Amino acid sequence: MKRTQTPEEREREAKKLKLLEELEDTWLPYLTPKDDEFYQQWQLKYPKLVLREAGGVPEQLHREVQEAFGALHEHGCLFRDLVRVQGKDVLTPVSRILIGNPGCTYKYLSTRLFAVPWPVRGSAAVRYREAEIAAACQAFLKLNEYLRVETAQTWGELVAKDRANIDVVPVCIGPDFPRVGLGAFDGQDEADIRSRSAYNVTLLNFMDPQKMPYLKEEPYFGMGKMAVSWHHDENLVDRSAVAVYSYSCEGPEEDSEDDPQLEGRDPDVWHVGFKISWDIETPGLAIPLHQGDCYFMLDDLNATHQHCVLAGLPPRFSSTHRVAECSTGTLDYILQRCQLALQNVRDGAGGADVSLKSLEPTVLKQGEEIHNEVEFEWLRQFWFQGNRYSKCTDWWCQPMAQLEEMWRKMEDVTNAVLREVRKEGVPTGVRNETLTAILGPLSTRQSLRREWHARCQSRTARTLPADQRPECRPYWEQDDPAMPLPFDLTDLVAELRGLLLEAKPEKERKA
């Protein structure tokens, strides 16, 4: 399988390796609540990280949320994702499900997750497979609302404290004076805070360490086994908050004999780790998370810092509420895009003989780009995840069928465009402009199809149970009479390149 790594990924990887080399075989220091400097460092270097212990959350909400986690787990609604990391396909150790606003999606590690809708007011009733699944989605909506309000309030208080500090603290005071940080929240008003706390999805995580014999060791600080490696959360609205509800299924007060002699974090207890990106001076933090604890990453914390999840002994769930950047990630958005593309089809004669309203290169190019977008960002992403979505709800069935139907029409459109460029007697200049406009999107289509096809065949993909196994869809055989164009576009792209070259004057061809 070909490994595709972006230049940024390569650069980051090199930087990381260099950092690890510099460390040689020493660990960087990190702090836990057992350390005297823990709270001071937290206030000084991690002021936008806020912990809300379980006691501060309503008892009834705990009960509903914890029952909801259990129900989704029992009904088999959580799945390990086959994500792409540094050009390789890997299964996440944690199982996940995305719940959120109807039609919303969230993309991470090249994987678009499709939200199982929670029952927001004012949108059509959702059919769930089981009453318990319906109740669970309702519970996470309630938790979302609670965390949204708590986030905005805590954030507001922090901004106010920051402002007060600036006003009170004389300028001559030393740089290490503990405070939130001079103007750390510059120019933020209530509206910013409100929109950056307006969580539209939650990504649920589950892992039972006992069933995961191989977990990676934390590489920089020696914090022990990780359930989730160091990362920034992706695909979020700039400076938006993330709120996490953590539910480790620990027995009643199992109170592990806290041996104060022992160095580092307790390996039986789940923790969240924090570090400042690219900083090897500031100690990292490992914050223990007990049943029902919540933490908040406010403002730019997620951008300036990285976090990881350190495994404990018991199974654990978490619900991570986010403001997904979904300007190109909602069902309404992609439906509108498809409608835009199909506006170029003249009403009437359908099928293989579609006729196009405009042959303008910009119009054709846009059409082919939308064709790629719906195929690779929606249809292939969806079917790559097997049949998992139907476990909870049939909500995505009709939209996916509709998108596929529109995509199928776009195959006819591409076919019609090709008919035009192959026509005898088209002036060279016109033909070249058309060829130049469509060659980019068509060769992208060709290489992405190849990549998705290979991803679906990967060894890891084939080990998955049948109902989760990636489906390469749409897919059709070379000689399928129902399809106007082949699945594999290698020959076609070569033909178009040839046509373009042919039409160029001798001089240019040599250059």
Binding site for ligand AKG (CB under 6 A): 203, 205, 228, 233, 244, 246, 272, 307, 309, 318, 320
Residue 57's binding partner, choosing from Fe ion, ligand AKG, none, with beta-carbon cut-off 5 to 8 A by kind? none
Pick 233 or 266: Cβ nearer Fe ion: 233
**Partners of 244 in the β-ladder:** 295, 320
Pick 282 or 320: Cβ nearer ligand AKG: 320
Of the candidate spans 154-162, 226-234, 273-281, 381-389, the one that interacts with Fe ion by CB under 5 A turns out to be: 226-234
Distance CA 460, CA 190 (A): 47
- Nearest-CA neighbor of 397 among 129, 177, 168? 129
Beta strands 201-207 and 88-100 are antiparallel
Q: Which amino acid is at 113?
A: L
Residue 318's binding partner, choosing from Fe ion, ligand AKG, none, with beta-carbon cut-off 5 to 8 A by kind? ligand AKG
Residue 364's binding partner, choosing from ligand AKG, Fe ion, none, with beta-carbon cut-off 5 to 8 A by kind? none
Distance CA 182, CA 426 (A): 66
Residues 327 and 224: beta-carbon distance below 8 Å: no
Q: Measured at CB, which residue is nearest to Fe ion? A: 233
**DSSP symbols for 286-345:** EEE--TT-EEEE-TTHHHHEEEEEE--SS-EEEEEEE-B--TT-BHHHHHHHHHHHHTTB
Asked if the bond preceding 474 is cis, omega within 30° of 0, the reply is: yes
Residue 203's binding partner, choosing from Fe ion, ligand AKG, none, with beta-carbon cut-off 5 to 8 A by kind? ligand AKG
Could you say whether residue 233 binds Fe ion (CB under 5 A)? yes
Pick 73 or 179: Cβ nearer ligand AKG: 73
Pick 277 or 490: Cβ nearer ligand AKG: 277
Helix (H, G, I), strand (E, B), or coil: what is residue 80? Answer: strand
Residue 240's binding partner, choosing from Fe ion, ligand AKG, none, with beta-carbon cut-off 5 to 8 A by kind? none
In the chain, count H helices and then E strands. 14, 15
Distance CA 457, CA 353 (A): 34
Minimal distance, residue 153 CB to ligand AKG, in Å: 21
Distance CA 489, CA 444 (A): 10
Minimal distance, residue 232 CB to Fe ion, in Å: 8
Minimal distance, residue 272 CB to ligand AKG, in Å: 5
Pick 227 or 326: Cβ nearer Fe ion: 227
Minimal distance, residue 460 CB to ligand AKG, in Å: 20
Pick 233 or 411: Cβ nearer Fe ion: 233
- How many CB atoms neighbour CB 301 within 10 A? 21
Minimal distance, residue 326 CB to ligand AKG, in Å: 17
Could you say whether residue 81 binds Fe ion (CB under 5 A)? no
Q: Measured at CB, which residue is nearest to ligand AKG? A: 318
Pick 288 or 367: Cβ nearer ligand AKG: 288
Q: Which residues here bind Fe ion, judged by CB under 5 A? A: 233
